[in-house]
Structure 1
């Protein structure tokens, strides 16, 4: 059984936190909300930090921030650098904001061991390392904040979390009982609200208002067919290059209803340019000829529901013809790979700030 922190440690932590408001960002942790694609202008921001500590020192400290599935910033203790992955985001937020965030992160990094000790009851009898993770996150519909959640986790277990809809902190582990009265105080309530606005909501609004991500793009659709030697047929419907993220993609056969439960989906994932892609495959049972199947796509940039038929069964080709047709493609792909590798070797995209 994990013993609770003694009163001396608790008083020490309260004193430390009262003097250094930067510690409050530790409370903006592990934001896991259902990132549902509820509206076309839906956006979300998530800032996640991970600290690994022994009972005496901090071994590792990392952080990443993601807006709409696009990672835009990262921090690593090893090199003490904030890397803004997208150059124009650095310009939008400004150097002063990045430097301020840098100082905050360094403060949290210094305080990590103390917070872990507070949650573990200052237990130094074991030699195991502890991993603490926390995320600040928010959801917006255009410029309107829908929700924000905070969660603190330790060694894979949720300690305490705050849901703006519930408007109170929920203790999930006995080890966080002594933390609840602190985070519920007026001082920490005001800090929580300020940090959610400054480091989550305001960031999303600035980035979206000044980015090209709001330029809606229609999907490009590619439908393909693969016939296996065992007689099964697999259809693939790939939609890519679309924005915003919300899209509907289903398989239909002739005049029947949509086919549910027989597909496998990649999930909606980000492209490097800020658009998204989605692939759904459908495997038919042996004996099904594959006739009459279509891929149905709905997206706000398509004027109407669009239907894409599946190509027919491919004709058999002689092996030497297939080799000759594949060889040029292989050479082209290899050349592109070498060029890409060379570019990555020569430069690393992004803007870097040293955190002192």
Structure 2
């Protein structure tokens, strides 16, 4: 195990130049998420790792392909990374990761059922300065061990982690290299990646907003305001009536759209007794918009009837633009 740790930390030190580069305000983050399964199943290999730049998939590795595979658009950027070297690093991390999972199962005599070991670590830059770093693990959803770079030391959060701590701190150099990785190597990699991908991470994709409704004609209507295709992730959606923000019944979560953008929606019910239905509007705030976007619910159709379902073409309130 000590040999594995030595190989892992040596590989970490090979990654990227440690010379600071001029970047931007940020924040920008580089993070890694690992999952090990004692009993792999279809679609879920025994080990998989995903790296992220901010919230965008950077590369993926698993125990079946055993290759660090960059995701779009990073796969199109020449000179971004030595992917063969990255693959070797992930192989070393896989070995130590799965060995630790075995140690934990042996400690608890957990031979039955399926068990999960997870790890996450990374760093953050703000105004080109280190503003955060983390390195921690969990077993079956419980906190297991965490690295405190201020001490520096691995801090056990589970009885079995005492054994892990002893192995990972067998020599002082292992601890010092872990600290150097979080404080020097990881930020250096992030700065280097930003030289290639800053424009992509800084992009502003405005939301496409639509309103749908369904319900009994002339009575209660369920109104849904949906925003699609926006980036970055942060967005605010509210239903407005009479100048007041309305309580929503569901929605508000922001979810990936599968194309490096996000989607969100809010749903509420309204009736004729609440006043004119066509006075309801959806207010959207997003960093890509010069000012908040307000979309009116079209309400009654031109023939005087109300559709039971379907999307009406959204339009803006007078004096407001996207």
Instruction: Decide: shared fold, TM above 0.5.
Output: yes
Give the deviation of 1:123 after TM superposition: 6.1
Write the mapping of 1:130-279 to structure 2, written as runs, cut at 5 A. Answer: 130-141=115-126, 143-162=128-147, 169-180=154-165, 186-196=172-182, 200-211=186-197, 212-217=199-204, 219-229=206-216, 231-256=219-244, 258-260=245-247, 262-270=249-257, 272=259, 274-279=260-265
Alignment deviations for residues 221-252 of structure 1 (CA, whole Å, 9 cap, x no partner):
42313131384322222333433333332222
Of structures 1 and 2, the one with the larger relative CO (CA 8 A, separation 6+) is 1
Q: Which residue of 1 aligns with 2:281?
A: 294
Write the mapping of 1:1-356 to structure 2, written as runs, cut at 5 A. Answer: 13=1, 15-16=2-3, 19-22=6-9, 41-53=26-38, 60-86=46-72, 88-89=74-75, 91=77, 94-96=80-82, 98-121=83-106, 126-141=111-126, 143-162=128-147, 169-180=154-165, 186-196=172-182, 200-211=186-197, 212-217=199-204, 219-229=206-216, 231-256=219-244, 258-260=245-247, 262-270=249-257, 272=259, 274-284=260-270, 287-288=273-274, 290-314=277-301, 315-316=304-305
RMSD: 3.8
The runs of 5 or more residues in structure 2 that have no matched partner are 13-24, 40-44, 310-322
Distance of 1:162 and 1:285 partners within structure 2: 55
Structure 1 residues 138-147 or 246-255, which shifts more? 138-147
The runs of 5 or more residues in structure 1 that have no matched partner are 1-12, 26-39, 323-356
Specify whether residues 195 and 100 from structure 1 end up closer, same or farther in structure 2 by C-alpha distance, changes over 3 A only: farther
SS at match of 1:192: helix
Count of matched residue pairs: 286
SS at match of 1:178: helix
Structure 1-normalised TM-score?
0.65
Distance of 1:201 and 1:285 partners within structure 2: 55
SS at match of 2:300: coil
Distance of 2:210 and 2:73 partners within structure 1: 35
More helix by share: 1
Give the deviation of 1:74 after TM superposition: 1.1
Specify whether residues 213 and 276 from structure 1 end up closer, same or farther in structure 2 by C-alpha distance, changes over 3 A only: farther
Specify whether residues 218 and 94 from structure 1 end up closer, same or farther in structure 2 by C-alpha distance, changes over 3 A only: closer
User: Do the aligned residues in 2 keep the contact of 1:73 with 1:83 (CA within 8 Å)?
Assistant: yes
SS at match of 1:81: coil
Distance of 2:238 and 2:153 partners within structure 1: 40
Distance of 1:93 and 1:200 partners within structure 2: 18
SS at match of 1:245: coil
Structure 1 residues 150-159 or 183-192, which shifts more? 183-192
Distance of 2:299 and 2:10 partners within structure 1: 62
Distance of 1:119 and 1:292 partners within structure 2: 60
Specify whether residues 215 and 317 from structure 1 end up closer, same or farther in structure 2 by C-alpha distance, changes over 3 A only: same
Structure 2-normalised TM-score?
0.71
